[in-house]
Amino acid sequence: MVSADDLTIDPDELLSHLAGTTILDARWTLGGPPGRDEYLAGHIPGASYIDLDTELAGKPGQNGRHPLPDPAALQMVLRDKGVTGGRPVVVYDAGEGHAAARAWWILRWAGHRDTRILDGGIAAWVAHGHPVTRETPDVTKGEIHVKPGSLPSITADEAAEIAHDGVLIDARVRPRYRGEFEPVDPAAGHIPGAVNRPTVLNTHDHGRLRPADDLRTEFANLGVLAGVPVGAYCGSGVTAAHTVLALHRAGRTDAALYVGSWSDWVTDPTRPVATGD
């Protein structure tokens, strides 16, 4: 079982292990601007940029806006960025943790267990007075062998089953859950039976992941108890990856991600849509 302590790393600890760590900059914002521009303007020394839209997801379509990437294509991407099975990986974003959590989840899903998130992202790194650079690193090609399915993912039908028999967490903001507005996808509302817990509740202190006991208590209040199936979804499987990260910290390493999420759910007009609370 992965220890909760293995999920994140603080800036000072990362600084002391830079030479032995593969670092991935996963900065991304829904609708832009491109995270690569932020990377080129300044990043953690030795970090390579990884693009959420094109490298941590497949092509958008019937399976949602950010479906699972093709394993062979993902393996090529990760090797090009120096990812090797026996070498630790640290991923980071601007600081909120959502894009980094998607990168963390994809790497763990691909079988790379020693992957952690920089707690607080590059904002915390800079706040600690650590250096940034504009130099693009000369990366030694990695040797990772992608083993898809090393973390559980679920389909639309399986998400509906968990909503009925367990706890399916909708990680979007409450107005989107209620169906009051939908800025991206063609229909507003939520999967019937899902409970709402916005991703922002997973963090404190400028994007740092909250303590295990706090998260465990809050998830238990939603019904996430021993033996109860649990899954998470959001708009397209990005912020929900952060909820899966938080569930891991709370001890639920079996938590499943509905990768296609709402953007996949609404591709089938026969699937029911709930609104309100």
Q: Alpha-carbon distance 230 to 223, whole Å?
A: 9
Range 71-78, long-range pairs (CB < 8 A, 24+ positions): 71/110, 71/146, 71/148, 72/146, 74/106, 74/110, 74/146, 75/110, 75/144, 75/145, 75/146, 77/50, 78/107, 78/110, 78/112, 78/142, 78/144, 78/146
pLDDT score for 3: 43
pLDDT digits (tens, 9 = 90+) for 210-230: 999 999 999 999 999 999 999
- Report the b/e string of 232-262 with b at 16+ CB within 10 A: bbbbbbbbbbbbbbbbbbbbbbebbbbbbbb
Three-state SS sequence of 142-159: CCCCCCCCCCCECCHHHH
Q: What mean pLDDT do residues 187-196 have? A: 98
pLDDT score for 2: 36
pTM of the model: 0.96
Structural domains in the chain?
4-127 (3.40.250.10), 156-265 (3.40.250.10)
Q: Alpha-carbon distance 188 to 186, whole Å?
A: 7
pLDDT score for 79: 98
pLDDT digits (tens, 9 = 90+) for 122-160: 999 999 999 999 999 999 999 999 999 999 999 999 999
The reply to whether 3 belongs to the active site is: no
Per-residue confidence band for 31, with pLDDT thresholds at 50, 70 and 90: confident
Per-residue confidence band for 242, with pLDDT thresholds at 50, 70 and 90: very high
**Catalytic annotation, pick one of 110, 232, 234, 250:** 234
> What is the pLDDT of the chain when averaged over all its residues?
96
pLDDT over threshold 50, residue 105: yes
pLDDT digits (tens, 9 = 90+) for 175-189: 999 999 999 999 999
pLDDT score for 108: 98
Higher pLDDT, 3 or 64: 64
pLDDT score for 267: 96
Contact call for residues 145 and 77 (beta carbons, < 8 A): no
Contact call for residues 41 and 58 (beta carbons, < 8 A): no
pLDDT score for 19: 93
pLDDT score for 34: 84
Q: What mean pLDDT do residues 257-264 have? A: 98
Q: Alpha-carbon distance 15 to 271, whole Å?
A: 48
pLDDT digits (tens, 9 = 90+) for 57-79: 999 999 999 999 999 999 999 99
pLDDT score for 1: 30
pLDDT over threshold 90, residue 5: no
Q: How many CA atoms lie within 13 A of 131 on its CB side?
A: 8
Q: Give the whole-number percent of the chain exceeding pLDDT 90.
A: 95
E-strand ranges in 78-211 read: 89-92, 115-118, 167-170, 195-196, 203-204, 208-209
